[in-house]
Each structure stands twice: as C-alpha cells, then as structure tokens.
Structure 1
Amino acid sequence: MTTASPPAGATAGFCAIDFGTSNSAIALPVAPGQVRLVEVEPGQRTMPTAVFYALEDLAPDQAPERLYGRAALRAYVDGVEGRLMRSMKSVLGSSLIEQSTDLGEGHAVTFLEVIAGYLRHLKTLAEREAGHAIPRAVLGRPVFFVDDDPARDAQAQAALEAAARQVGFQEVAFQFEPIAAALDYEATVDHEQLVLVADIGGGTSDFSVVRVGPQRRARIDRADDILASHGVHVAGTDFDRHVELSAILPLAGYRARGPKPAEREVPSKVYFDLATWHLINTVYSLPRVMELRGMKAFYADPGLHRRLMTIAEERLGHGLLAQAEAAKIAVAEGRDATIALDNLERGLQAQLGETQALDAIETDLERIVQTGLETVRLAGVTPERIEAVYLTGGSTGLAPLAQRIAAPYARARTVRGDRLASVAQGLGLHAQRVFA
C-alpha cells in the first residue's frame, strides 16, 4: 500500500493502539481533544487479538497466509489446518519472546514476529483510513507486564517497542491502560479525587486506584498517579463456561448418572473441555471421538450420550458456547433466555433465568469484588476515599457484576466508560498531548 505523508504541521501523523490481551483497537486524532476509532473490521471498532497461520494447500516454498481478528477465529472454529495464536501479550516479559514456535508443515515463527505482524496489520488499517503514513504511536501497557519483577517488566515494554519500531513506527510512547481509561472521566472533574478503575474483560479482571484532577490532566508522566493495581484471571469467558455447564451441557449428560445399581456420575472432563474455548477442538480429534463412543454404557439415559456424540461429531462446541454467551447477555439485559438446541435434538431447549445465571457465576463474582477491595487496600486508602468507580471492559455490561463491584464504595458514583473502547480513546487523547 502506498501512503502519502501527512501535511506539514498536521497532527494526524500519529495514532494510539490498545494492544489488548483479548481485543485491540486503534484511535486517530480528529481535533484537539477528539479522537475516532478506526474501523478495524467491517462495522467493528475493536477486533480480537488473534492471528491464524493457515497451512492448507501450501506450496513447498509458500509462507502461511495470516488471518487476523474474527477471520482468524473463524478459520480455527471451522477446522482449517493451521495454528491459532491468541493472548500474545502475555508472552511479553518471558523468555519465550525470542523463541520460535512451530506452525507445522516445516514453518516456524518467533513470538516477537507474531506480535510485530499483528501490529503491522493494525498500522496498515490505520494508514488506510487516515490516507497517509503514520510514523508515531502511543501504545497502552498494563501497570505491570510482570508482577514483582521490574527487570522483566522493563524487558516486556522494550520488546513491545521493538516490535512497533520493526513495523515502521519511528516514535513510540507508552501510557498505562488504567490512566488511559480514566482520562475520559478526568475531563469532567473539578477537584482532585481517587477513582477505582475496573477493567473487566474476557480473560482477566483488573483494578487500579488512580488519582485524577484538573491539575493533573496535562501531565505526560502519570506513573505516580497509580496508587495500586491488582487483578485476577477471572472474567467474561469464565462466566460463559459456567453458564454453559449450568444450562446447556446437562442436556448432553453433564453430571448425569450411570445405570443402577452403582449410578456413578459420568466422567466430566469432556464437558469442561467443551465449555473452554481453546480446548473445544481437542474433543473433535478421531481418538477422542472414539473414546466418547466407548462411553455409551456409562449413561443410564442413552439419549444424553447421543446428544454428546452429536456435539463431538458435528463439531457444535463453539456454537454452543456462543449460545451460552448470548444467553448470559440476555439475562444481563433483564430478559430470561430460551436457548434453542434443535441442532442437538429437534425441539430441545434450555432455559436461563437471572437466578440460575447468578448462582452459576457467584464464586467468580465474589472473587472479582474482593480483588477490587484488595486493590484499594494496597493503595493504602479506605473504600470511603473512593469517589468514583469507573467501569470498562466488555464484561461490565453484566449489570449484576457492575452493581456488585460498586457496592462497597458508598460515597462513589458509578461511571460507565465505553466497554470496548475507552482505553483506546484515552490513549488517543494522550497521543495528542505527546505528539501534537
């Protein structure tokens, strides 16, 4: 692609990238104090942080085709031969970053090259929309890439910067993700205060206590405004798994009993695999399908085993997990959900109401709430000192979760940012301060 240089004096020669563990987004400047998000996929302002290396029908000297975002996930779900790479951000700061990983068919790639390739794709999308080259970028970063290891944390940022420079960014700056999320709220405050930023995504729930105020808005270095940061590896994908195990998979034998007189519970591992996104494809392998066929005698009700085999043989696992997620969202919006399962058996349905959904995820909800409280404790303040709870991340659309997170902070107002894009928008505003 050929790109023109930005006009002299223009502020548009930069962008901001939220390179997230689960999803990513790009912000471009519009006017002072205003940014817009790039359409990274048709009709979408965010895209999954995923790369798929397709290996089907490759010539001997041909490099694998790379698919990104939703196209990468579709290829994986559809069983295309290749290798899916997700959660690349988690490799930063580890010894794996420079190591090669096998793609198959004699192809290998380093994890740093995977990250660089994904950033190159984002940069191409930004330049295509902007209509000119973009040589400067602000990238978001977590408060800690690596907990309790400053040297590895610095190595992680250096590796991400190296990947960004490798794809053509000549100037690279960083901002902490919770600060970026809080910039939207900070523009509205008239006095200095403490904000609990709750970023509840697909894989992790992250909290930070952040100091904001009118006198701090123009500061470039905001590191000392983060009083504490803490997280837990529990979030939206865990909710989906519990909902599927509670409402859908019992209709295919989860927790079913065997024949009398023993009436033992049937083996559960296959059901946990079917409810865990990255393990679903393992159920479809021929040895695993043969193993499941041999389990028919374990079931007192052969119809339950028949439905399990339909899932495995017709590769319905990802679709069922998507139905669990849709049911969770329906309940979050105040509606009971009817889940049509005609692909398992004609007329079969599952029901999900708010009580059942909340019971399914109660343990995870409580862990998330306690993580928020622990973050406030680590900041050395009491819950009464928090004046706002700022919610961002896709899973904060679950109203009971948002209410539970905010409940311990009696004096705080609850502020909802853009669930999927507030970090990218905040990074864009910071990029204007750095580069404009």
Structure 2
Amino acid sequence: MPLSPDFSIGIDFGTSNTVVAIADPQGNVEALTFEHGGERLKVYVTALCFWDERHGNGLRTEVEGGPWAIEQFLEGLHAHRFIQSFKTFAASATFKETRIFRERYAFEDLLSAFLRTLAHHGGSRLDWGAGNVVIGRPVQFAGYNPDDDLAMQRYRTAFGRLGAEQAHYVYEPVGAAFFYARQLDHDATVLVADFGGGTSDFSVMRFSKAGGVLRAEPLGHAGIGLAGDAFDYRIVDKVVSPRLGKGGLYRSMDKILSIPNHYYANFARWNQLAMMKGSGDLKELRELARVALEPKPLEKFIDIIEYDLGFALYRAVSSAKVALSNHEETDFRFQGEGVDIQAKISRADFESWIAEDVDRIAQTVDEALAKAGVKPAEIERVFLTGGTSFVPAIRRLFVDRFGETRLTSADQFESIAYGLALIGQSEAPERWAVTN
C-alpha cells in the first residue's frame, strides 16, 4: 500500500549502512524492512555491485545494492565492480567520475543508482514524493578539504531524481537527539554524539516540554570527517599493509627505491580498493612486483585486488576491532585465494594507533560545547550512537568529561533514521533543515 501523505520518511544514508524509517502523525515510528535470504533486515548495506549480462547480441550493465550487491559480488558469476562507502566522495571536488564498464558515473549517479535499488526492495511504502521527507547529513563531511556546498548539491540532485525535490536536510546528530528526547520527562540539555563510518558529529540540544509538546533548541554543532573507517585504517596500516609490501624496496636502474605509500592509502580505504582495478594502479603494481627486491608481498596485494577480496578483508578487520572492545587481545586472521595474514593484536597497541584520532575527536567535542556556550557540568545527558561509541578509548573520552552516570545509548543503526522521521512529524520540520 502506498504511503499516506500524513506519514513522514527519515533517511539515514550512511557510509557503511543506510536505514529508512517511517513515522505516523501519532508519533509511531518503525524502520522499513527488507526481505533477504529469509531474514527481515532493518539495515541496507551502503554498497553497489555492477555487472555485465548478455541481452540478445549485446551486453547490458545491471546493478544491485544493499545485501543483494554483496550476494552478487560473492557469487562472482560475472565480471563486476563492487563499490562500498562511496559516501566519502560526496564532498570531494577531485572526484569527478568513475568508469564502470562502458559508462561514466559521477557521485550523484552512484547515489541515484543506490537509491533506486533501495526503493525497489523497499516496496510501495517508500514513496519519496509523498509526505515529509527528512534526509540526514553529517555536520562535517568526510575527506580532505570537504566542500559542503558541493556535497549538498550532489545529494539534492540524486534524491531529486527519485521525487524528493522538497526534502529537508537535517544534521544526523539532531535526528538522533529527537529520537532520544522522547524519553525525557523534564527540560534537559543533551549532548548527542553520533559516530558513523566516515564522520563523527556532535550536537548540543536544549529540550523542553510544554503542554505535552516537545520543543528543541539546537545550541551548537561540530563534526569531523573521522570515525569507524579511520580506526579500521589503523589496523590495516599497522597489521595488513606491511605484509603486502608496504615499506619494501624495488630496483630502478642502478637505484634502490621505496615502494610508494600512496597505493596503501588507497588500499586501506575500502571504497577505493575496488576502483584500483579500473585505474592504472594495478598495472603499476604488477610492474613494481617484477622489480621488487621481495616480490611475494606485492603479489599478494595484487591478488587481493584481482580477486576482489577487499570485502572479506574488511570483515576480518572490523571483527578484530569489535573483539578489542571486549577483550584485551585478539587474533587477526585473513585467508583467501592463497593470501594468508595472521597477527596478534592487543588493545593497548590498537589504542596507541588511534590515539591521535581520539584526540581530534575530543577536540571536536570541546568545539561543540564551546559553540553552544555550555560547560561539561551543564550537560545533563550524553546520548551516544554508532558502533564506534563502543570502542573503550572513545567511551573513556566521555566518561572522563561527563561521568559514567550521564552516558546513555540506543540502537547503533536505527536511532538517527527514527529521529529524522519524527522531525518530519514536528510542527515545522523546515526549522531543523540545513539551508546550504
């Protein structure tokens, strides 16, 4: 059944996962679910898989998204391109397009393709031309020197193609704050910390209730293009890359030179790994392997790219990170197509690798408080959302500033989308929209 105009839709388009929520005028809210493999999923993986299929005498490019993209990728029945975490390109002026088989895709083309797969699998309830549509955006987009105006232009183009031309764009932590505020029975000043895959965003909100109506005043926002993916990168950089040739040497004429590090920067970012196949990087790596003093590590690197092992490696790294949130030490193991990487990782080592990242996140928290004109003692509750909030070093950051008793959290995937949908049911959803 199509969605009634009285309903509102909240869309949390994330670096790693995307969640869509629907709210009714009575304040009831639920996540849109996707039937896949006998399961009802509330999370739609932010991934795309393109492949060629023969139709008649020619080839046609097909595309799938979410868990269907992963399924297509793992089946490997066709030549394909698997793209993940492409949100990190949103604010990059240097990212113009990528070639996928015979076509060129700008960022808005990738996002449109992804949204179409989501709409297809979401069914008739997902009508982005009906009711209020509220779309989340980070306070600070990821990437070097991010261009917020460019990112928002690309968002509006992509969502507009699916009928959401009149959508409101709201800071993601504000959405999380609305979700949390339903629990409040008194006035309160709240710090919302939203840790995504690519960004960490913080908002200070003042909530009050009058006549049973929740009112919210945003006091200050700050964000940084650094979060869970950056922590994964530290594991890759310290554990994986050295076993794939980083720091190695090669011979050029009569000189011994270091293998360039930029290949490993690309490799550590999952969204760029698949794209190395279609660029000149793979050819250059093969040439380097022929003249390397120790070619085998580089040959493993090439195998990971050629056999599309990035996703499996991503899962191994992510699993190690999660394990270190619960244990002082974990055994890292990755195997595939003859590549075998093993290492023991201690929490102490991991925390030393991410120490500078945690310091930058702490500075961003302080920036949000300063913009709000609020001292840590004046924050009544700290609402944490996102998987990175479970990393012990991050947890300690907030305990040290605010105390354990003031911390609370909710479902790491759904809270933002729920809050965005609830904003769509508020008196004036445009009041919360970011205008740029």
CA shift for structure 1 position 143: 7.0
Give yes or no for the alignment of 1:139 onto 2:134: yes
Matched with 2:432 is none
CA shift for structure 1 position 340: 2.6
- How does the TM-score come out when normalised to structure 2? 0.76
- Are the counterparts in 1 of residues 119 and 126 from structure 2 also a CA contact under 8 Å? no
CA shift for structure 1 position 424: 0.8
Secondary structure of the corresponding residue to residue 213 of structure 1: strand
The whole-number CA distance in structure 2 between the counterparts of 1:124 and 1:106 is 24
In 2 relative to 1, CA 160–237 (structure 1 residues): closer, same or farther, beyond 3 Å?
A: closer
Q: Which moved more, 1:318-327 or 1:166-175?
A: 166-175
- Are the counterparts in 2 of residues 292 and 309 from structure 1 also a CA contact under 8 Å? no
Secondary structure of the corresponding residue to residue 408 of structure 1: helix
- Are the counterparts in 1 of residues 190 and 205 from structure 2 also a CA contact under 8 Å? yes
CA shift for structure 1 position 391: 0.8
The whole-number CA distance in structure 1 between the counterparts of 2:121 and 2:58 is 28
CA shift for structure 1 position 399: 3.0
- Are the counterparts in 1 of residues 8 and 424 from structure 2 also a CA contact under 8 Å? yes
Task: State which of 341, 359, 365 in structure 1 corresponds to 2:352.
Answer: 359
CA shift for structure 1 position 68: 1.4
Give yes or no for the alignment of 1:277 onto 2:270: yes
CA shift for structure 1 position 433: 3.9
Give yes or no for the alignment of 1:240 onto 2:195: no
The whole-number CA distance in structure 2 between the counterparts of 1:131 and 1:263 is 59
Q: Which moved more, 1:184-193 or 1:27-36?
A: 27-36
- Are the counterparts in 2 of residues 201 and 393 from structure 1 also a CA contact under 8 Å? yes
Matched with 1:376 is 369
- Are the counterparts in 2 of residues 28 and 126 from structure 1 also a CA contact under 8 Å? no
Task: State which of 61, 64, 68 in structure 1 corresponds to 2:61.
Answer: 64
CA shift for structure 1 position 355: 0.9
- 1:192-341 counterparts in 2 under 5 A? 192-215=187-210, 218=213, 222=216, 225-255=217-247, 267-281=260-274, 286-297=282-293, 299=294, 304=297, 307-308=300-301, 311=304, 314-334=307-327, 336-341=329-334
The whole-number CA distance in structure 2 between the counterparts of 1:428 and 1:357 is 37
Give yes or no for the alignment of 1:186 onto 2:181: yes
The whole-number CA distance in structure 1 between the counterparts of 2:94 and 2:349 is 43
Higher relative contact order (CA 8 A, sep 6+): 2
**Amino acid paired to 1:390:** F
- Count of aligned pairs: 414
Matched with 2:431 is none
CA shift for structure 1 position 370: 1.3
Matched with 2:29 is 35
What percentage of aligned pairs have identical amino acids?
A: 24
Gap regions ≥5 residues in structure 2:
429-436
Q: Which has the higher strand share?
A: 2
- Are the counterparts in 1 of residues 140 and 224 from structure 2 also a CA contact under 8 Å? no
The whole-number CA distance in structure 1 between the counterparts of 2:57 and 2:398 is 54
- Are the counterparts in 2 of residues 289 and 312 from structure 1 also a CA contact under 8 Å? no
In 2 relative to 1, CA 112–309 (structure 1 residues): closer, same or farther, beyond 3 Å?
A: closer
Matched with 1:419 is 412
- Are the counterparts in 2 of residues 92 and 145 from structure 1 also a CA contact under 8 Å? no
- 1:395-434 counterparts in 2 under 5 A? 395-410=388-403, 413-433=406-426
The whole-number CA distance in structure 2 between the counterparts of 1:170 and 1:320 is 38
CA shift for structure 1 position 205: 1.0
The whole-number CA distance in structure 2 between the counterparts of 1:159 and 1:249 is 33
The whole-number CA distance in structure 2 between the counterparts of 1:303 and 1:375 is 48
Larger radius of gyration: 1
In 2 relative to 1, CA 237–162 (structure 1 residues): closer, same or farther, beyond 3 Å?
A: closer
The whole-number CA distance in structure 1 between the counterparts of 2:335 and 2:13 is 39
In 2 relative to 1, CA 126–19 (structure 1 residues): closer, same or farther, beyond 3 Å?
A: same
Q: Which moved more, 1:203-212 or 1:278-287?
A: 278-287
- 1:58-137 counterparts in 2 under 5 A? 64-72=61-69, 80-82=79-81, 84=83, 87=86, 91=90, 101=97, 103-104=99-100, 107-108=103-104, 112=108, 114-128=110-124, 130=125, 135-137=130-132
In 2 relative to 1, CA 410–208 (structure 1 residues): closer, same or farther, beyond 3 Å?
A: same
Deviations 1:174-207 (A, max 9, x none): 5443222012321222332221111111111111
In 2 relative to 1, CA 146–38 (structure 1 residues): closer, same or farther, beyond 3 Å?
A: closer
Q: Which moved more, 1:328-337 or 1:413-422?
A: 328-337
- How does the TM-score come out when normalised to structure 1? 0.76
Matched with 1:46 is 43
Secondary structure of the corresponding residue to residue 64 of structure 2: strand
The whole-number CA distance in structure 2 between the counterparts of 1:80 and 1:218 is 55
- Are the counterparts in 2 of residues 280 and 317 from structure 1 also a CA contact under 8 Å? yes
Secondary structure of the corresponding residue to residue 214 of structure 1: strand
CA shift for structure 1 position 343: 4.1
In 2 relative to 1, CA 230–283 (structure 1 residues): closer, same or farther, beyond 3 Å?
A: same
Q: Which moved more, 1:84-93 or 1:328-337?
A: 84-93
In 2 relative to 1, CA 274–243 (structure 1 residues): closer, same or farther, beyond 3 Å?
A: same
Q: Which moved more, 1:100-109 or 1:353-362?
A: 100-109
- Are the counterparts in 2 of residues 50 and 73 from structure 1 also a CA contact under 8 Å? yes
Task: State which of 381, 386, 396 in structure 2 corresponds to 1:388.
Answer: 381
